[in-house]
Amino acid sequence: MALVSGADRGLGLALTEGLLRAGWRVFAGQYMADWPELAKLQQQYGESLVLVPLDVGDTVSVRVAAAEMARLTERLDLLISNAGIGSREGDLESGLDYAAIENTYNVNTLGLLRLVEAMLPLLERSTLKRIAIVSSEAGCITLAHRDSGFGYGMSKAALNMVARLLFNDLRPQGYTFRLYHPGWMNGYMSGSKGTHGDMEPEEAAVPALAYFTGDREDEDRLALVDYMGSEWPF
């Protein structure tokens, strides 16, 4: 049993479909009630796909989702923390929107923490106990090349720290981690579908799922790995 956050479109939708195709049962975190793609998938996959309202920026929403999932399954094997937003925050010259930056942090960084905390009782009953975290090279401090995008970069760097702290706590209890940069995709983070990315979310989902569901030689070392299998410092 897997959970994907931000499953309505972009990478989350492609991951959901890839998991279903591979025979997984999937809880799809639905944030956009009016977006039709998940409903279409459900017609195709029936009971293998359960749509769960999920706003990772809202603690109550995450807890309600966890309670609903606990009603329907005994365990969760794979948690994919995928939901993420860009920050429409302005810039230094025109003025920064701090509420937008805070919201980006709330969703991109605290979202993971909320998810893991709420799902722990279900993950605990799995033998895989896998937590897959969609991060970004934008959160890599030592190789940072941008001169703006504070909210997004800061939130992903902090997300990597959440991953590290969770790893230090939960790895000794048997949890396994995948910290991942999916590459530049034509997702919807700008508000409409991107056109300049290196790949479509459906293409990006293939190496992502192979990494999320496959074995790693060294589960005792947390690594930020990209879609080519290369490792990033973080």
Ligand X SMILES: NC(=O)c1ccc[n+]([C@@H]2O[C@H](COP(=O)([O-])OP(=O)(O)OC[C@H]3O[C@@H](n4cnc5c(N)ncnc54)[C@H](OP(=O)(O)O)[C@@H]3O)[C@@H](O)[C@H]2O)c1
Q: Does 5 bind ligand X (CB under 6 A)?
A: yes
As a whole number of angstroms, the distance between CA 210 and CA 181 comes to 13
Shortest spacing between CB 38 and ligand X, in angstroms:
10
Q: Write a three-state SS string for the chain.
A: CEEECCCCCHHHHHHHHHHHHCCCCEEEEECCCCCCHHHHHHHHHHHHEEEEECCCCCHHHHHHHHHHHHHHCCCCCEEEECCCCCCCCEECCCEECHHHHHHHHHHHCHHHHHHHHHHHHHHHCCCCCEEEEECCHHHCCCCCCCCCCHHHHHHHHHHHHHHHHHHHHHHHHCCEEEEEECCCECCCCCCCCCCCCCECHHHHHHHHHHHHHCCCCCCCCCCEEECCCCEECC
Shortest spacing between CB 66 and ligand X, in angstroms:
14
Q: Does 207 bind ligand X (CB under 6 A)?
A: no
Nearer to ligand X, 145 or 174 (CB): 145
Shortest spacing between CB 87 and ligand X, in angstroms:
10
Shortest spacing between CB 201 and ligand X, in angstroms:
5
Considering only residues 54 through 83, tell me which ones interact with ligand X, judged by CB under 6 A. 54-57, 82-83
Q: Could you give the C-alpha distances from 204 to 45, 137, 216, 226, in angstroms and in order?
A: 22, 15, 19, 10
Read off the tokens for 7. 């499953």
Q: Does 209 bind ligand X (CB under 6 A)?
A: no
Query: What is the distance between the terminal CA atoms of the chain, rounded to a whole angstrom?
Result: 30
Considering only residues 112 through 141, tell me which ones interact with ligand X, judged by CB under 6 A. 134, 136
Q: Does 18 bind ligand X (CB under 6 A)?
A: no
Give the per-residue contact string, 139-178, with ligand X (x = CB under 6 A; - = no). ----------------------------------------
Nearer to ligand X, 18 or 84 (CB): 84
> Of these, 1, 3, 8, 115, which contacts ligand X (CB under 6 A)?
8
Nearer to ligand X, 82 or 213 (CB): 82
Nearer to ligand X, 124 or 206 (CB): 206
Give the per-residue contact string, 25-44, with ligand X (x = CB under 6 A; - = no). ----x-xx------------
| Contacting residues toward ligand X, per CB under 6 A | 5-6, 8-12, 29, 31-32, 54-57, 82-85, 107, 134, 136, 181-182, 184-185, 187-189, 197, 201
